[in-house]
Amino acid sequence: MTRLPNTFITVRVQALGGKFLGDDIGGALITVRDAQTRELLATGSTAGNSGTLSSTYAPNASLSTIVTPTPGQPTIQWLLAADTDSRATTTSAFTASLVLDRPRLLEVEAYGPLGGLQSAHRVTVTEWIVPGQNLTTPPGLVMLIPGLLVQVMSPATHTQYSSAACTDREMTFQANVAMMCGCPISNAPNNPWLPGDFDVSAQVREVGGPDVQRVTLAFDPSGTPSRFTGIYSVPVNTTSNPIYYEAIITARQFSTGNVGTGTVTFFVQPSSSTPQATPSS
Per-residue pLDDT of 120-171, as tens digits, reads 999 999 999 999 999 999 999 999 999 999 999 999 888 887 765 554 578 8
Tell me the pTM: 0.89
Interval 5-39: pLDDT, tens: 899 999 999 999 999 999 999 999 999 999 999 99
Domain-located, residue 266: yes
Burial letters 246-262, b for 16+ CB under 10 A, else e = bbbbbbbbeebebebbb
Same domain for 177 and 90: no
Same domain for 63 and 176: no
Same domain for 228 and 108: no
Percent of the chain surpassing pLDDT 70: 91
Domain-located, residue 1: no
Residue 274 has pLDDT above 50, yes or no: no
Residues 6+ apart with CB under 8 A from 138: 10, 59, 60, 81, 82, 89, 91
Amino acid found at 219: F
Q: What is the pLDDT of residue 84?
A: 45
CATH of residue 272's domain is 2.60.40.10
Number of domains observed in the structure of the chain: 2
Which domain range does residue 14 map to? 6-146
Same domain for 168 and 125: no
